[in-house]
Structure 1
Amino acid sequence: MSRSEARPAEPFASLAQQGEADRLGMWLFIASEIMMFGGLLLVIWFYRLAHPQEVAEALASMHWLLASGNTALLLSGSLCMTLALAAARAGEARRLIGWLLAAAVLGAGFLVGKSVEYTQEYHEGLLPGFGLESPLQAGAARLFMNVYFTATALHGVHILVAVALVLGLAARTWRGGLVFPQRAISVEMIALYWHAVDLIWLFLYPSLYLAGRGA
């Protein structure tokens, strides 16, 4: 492993300067993602306030226990990413790889759980646009399920990207392509993305599954 791998990229004068630029870029990207999902959350809550009875009908059909289990997987993945960052800053590459792989497994578990949930909703006629007759009587309830599917599918794509980034980072570390702790910023950026996706889910989960249930 050469020392050149720990040098900053052009046009940065130092790794610290490059790290600051990386952080600024990531925070700007995260802000754009939050604005996008913020718009979806506004639509969700508009439907909730405008059609409370119809939304309650949709909520009665949703698999909130499965979503709760998925939430636990995602938050556990965030913990693994935090521990991975600590390992990177300590220069412990082997421990870093272990935590990265654990986070990837938990993220993949979330995607599997979401696939199971979608499969159940497909057989129940709840997913929009698949030709099965919906058990929901109110049009607003079916529209709420459209918003639910759009928000959760978009979030699922973000989880897929996060898992791919984590696996790529683990592979580069295993091949010796990164020097730690000098390049801990690489882990920090992916951890920030993972935490941001988790934070978005922590707003989506109660908004879609819990608020108003049984009211």
Structure 2
Amino acid sequence: MKIDHSLPIEYSTKQNGLNIFGFWVFLAAEIMLFATLFTSYFTLEHRIGNGPGGAEIFEMTPVLLETLLLLTSSFTIGLGIHAMRLGRTKAMLTFFVITLLLGLGFLGFEIDEFITYIHESATLQTSAFTAILMTTLGTHGAHVSFGLFWGAAILIQIKKRGLTPEAANKSFIFSLYWHFLDVVWIFIFSFIYLKGMM
């Protein structure tokens, strides 16, 4: 395996560059998935039937906390990648752990939010609005859950084998995925929650 030391470690082999390109293609498919969910949401958001609407079930405090946790995690994953490029493995691992803990906190708030919605009779069966709301939020939450397991697996690999070009490549790709989830959340926060509270 030929390593090009003039490139950042995550791009240092030809295979690594191909992996990153392939992941960008995967993210394009993910964009289409969430675009479809948002389009469905905008089509169905006023079809509440006898159920509650967004203004009745959305609460600003937990949503702001979720947003703060996820956006902070985007910052810490960026610091982790910066530390990785400087060869500071311990700092990188620390920032990755903080990122995963913030993601876990986000997920905890989201689960609590789902429980609150169910107690307020906002379930998948209540109306078209609640069905698409739960589907959109649930899809994002499932992606965050997957990211937590993926990030933990990368941490274990680096702890066991050290920061190799392959591990750096996986870490960088993971950071792209995590940033993508944060961007999706900004759209959810802006166009579902804020719009729904008005």
Q: In the TM superposition, what is the alpha-carbon distance from 1:183 to its structure 2 partner?
A: 4.7
Asked if 1:187 is matched to 2:180, the reply is no
Query: Would you say the 8 A contact 1:47–1:55 is kept in 2?
Result: no
Query: Would you say the 8 A contact 1:97–1:170 is kept in 2?
Result: yes
CA displacement 1:105-148 (0-9 Å, x = unmatched)? 0001011001111111121211224xxxx6xxxxxxx2111100
Q: In the TM superposition, what is the alpha-carbon distance from 1:51 to its structure 2 partner?
A: 5.6
Structure 2 distance, partners of 1:102, 1:18, is: 29
In the alignment, residue 118 of structure 2 is paired with which amino acid?
Y
> Alignment partner for residue 40 of structure 1, among 34, 37, 55?
37
Q: In the TM superposition, what is the alpha-carbon distance from 1:55 to its structure 2 partner?
A: 9.9
Matched residue SS, 1:113 = helix
Query: Would you say the 8 A contact 2:47–2:128 is kept in 1?
Result: no
Counterpart for residue 202 of structure 1:
186
Q: TM-score, normalised by structure 2?
A: 0.86
> Alignment partner for residue 113 of structure 1, among 105, 109, 129?
109
Report the structure number with the largest CA radius of gyration: 1
Structure 2, unaligned stretches of length 5 or more?
Answer: 5-10
Structure 1 distance, partners of 2:32, 2:182, is: 15
Structure 1 distance, partners of 2:185, 2:51, is: 19
Asked if 1:153 is matched to 2:123, the reply is no
> Alignment partner for residue 93 of structure 1, among 73, 79, 89?
89
* Residues 117, 212 of structure 1: alpha-carbon distance in 2 compared, 3 angstrom cutoff: closer
Asked if 1:30 is matched to 2:27, the reply is yes
Counterpart for residue 137 of structure 1:
none
Q: In the TM superposition, what is the alpha-carbon distance from 1:212 to its structure 2 partner?
A: 4.9
Q: In the TM superposition, what is the alpha-carbon distance from 1:98 to its structure 2 partner?
A: 0.3
In the alignment, residue 101 of structure 2 is paired with which amino acid?
V
In the alignment, residue 20 of structure 2 is paired with which amino acid?
R
Query: Would you say the 8 A contact 2:103–2:144 is kept in 1?
Result: yes
> Alignment partner for residue 165 of structure 1, among 142, 150, 157?
150
Counterpart for residue 103 of structure 1:
99
Instruction: Report which stretch shifted further, 144-153 or 38-47.
Output: 38-47
Structure 2 distance, partners of 1:38, 1:55, is: 25
In the alignment, residue 97 of structure 2 is paired with which amino acid?
L
Q: Would you identify which runs of 4 or more consecutive aligned residues in structure 1 move more than 6 Å?
A: none
Task: Give the superposed CA RMSD.
Answer: 2.6
Query: Would you say the 8 A contact 1:127–1:145 is kept in 2?
Result: yes
Q: TM-score, normalised by structure 1?
A: 0.80
In the alignment, residue 145 of structure 1 is paired with which amino acid?
T
Structure 1 distance, partners of 2:164, 2:21, is: 22
Q: In the TM superposition, what is the alpha-carbon distance from 1:178 to its structure 2 partner?
A: 3.2
Structure 1, unaligned stretches of length 5 or more?
Answer: 9-13, 135-141
Query: Would you say the 8 A contact 2:80–2:95 is kept in 1?
Result: yes
Q: In the TM superposition, what is the alpha-carbon distance from 1:177 to its structure 2 partner?
A: 4.1
Structure 2 distance, partners of 1:183, 1:90, is: 14
Counterpart for residue 11 of structure 1:
none
CA displacement 1:40-68 (0-9 Å, x = unmatched)? 111122234x669x999333222232122
